[in-house]
Homo-oligomer: A and B are copies of this chain.
Amino acid sequence: MNEHILKKAFDNHFEASIEVWKAFADLCEEVHFKKNEKIKEVGKTAKYGYFLIKGSCGLFVWKENNFICTDLILENNFFADDISLLSGKPSQIEIVALENSTILQISKSNIDLLKKTPMGNILFLAGEENSTIEKQTQQIEMMTLTAEERYLNLMKNRPEIIQRVHQKHIASYLGITTQSLSRIRKNLLK
């Protein structure tokens, strides 16, 4: 049944028959995480890539006594501790379920299998490309925009995030304190 979710999520980007998605889904395992449960812990090595079916997740980096949010994930998206998954080494990255979440997880060895199929190759290449572009964009926004402009961008591009994720995480994601975010929000109610 999960193949239909995958197919639907990528129908706009890839033409692939349901059988292809079935093959994909068969390499995955459906798992569930409670709110605030850790999906991947700091100091450990990533074993899986993930596709979020339901809920929301946050990626954080442990840095000098606090966690910085590097990414916020909603339904129908892939996510992973890229660094650790690619290198096979432990990382300082933590992944947490921000709501009760349903996830498809796929092991590193199955990812490698998939990458060898034409479809998987295209899919993962596109994934890498997306994440590279996103990181680049994020970096540039951080360097050129004010916190308020970044928040407005987020509201425009991913409005659901604003409604479903704690402000402390959004603030961290935007690179500011929760106080600053609170002031920005107040200011926007002008």
Q: Which residues of B sit under 8 angstroms from A87, Cβ to Cβ?
A: 129, 133
Q: How many residues of A contact B (CB 8 A)?
A: 23
CB distance from A9 to the nearest CB of B (A): 20
CB distance from A78 to the nearest CB of B (A): 15
A83 pairs with B136, CB closer than 8 A: yes
Residue of B nearest to A82 (CB): B132
A139 pairs with B139, CB closer than 8 A: yes
A100 within 8 A of B: no
Among all A-B residue pairs, the 8 with the closest Cβ atoms = A143-B175, A86-B129, A135-B135, A87-B129, A142-B142, A83-B133, A82-B132, A139-B139
Q: Which residues of B sit under 8 angstroms from A139, Cβ to Cβ?
A: 70, 135, 138-139, 142
State the oligomeric state as a number of copies: 2
| Distance, CA A136 to CA B92, complexed state (A) | 11
Q: A86-B125, A135-B136 are in contact. List 18 more A-B contacts (CB 8 A).
A: A61-B136, A63-B144, A64-B144, A68-B140, A68-B144, A70-B136, A82-B132, A83-B129, A83-B133, A83-B136, A87-B129, A87-B133, A128-B128, A132-B135, A135-B135, A135-B139, A142-B142, A143-B175
Interface pairs (20), CB distance under 8 Å:
A61-B136, A63-B140, A64-B144, A68-B140, A68-B144, A70-B139, A70-B140, A82-B132, A83-B129, A83-B133, A86-B125, A86-B132, A87-B129, A87-B133, A132-B135, A135-B135, A135-B136, A135-B139, A142-B143, A142-B175
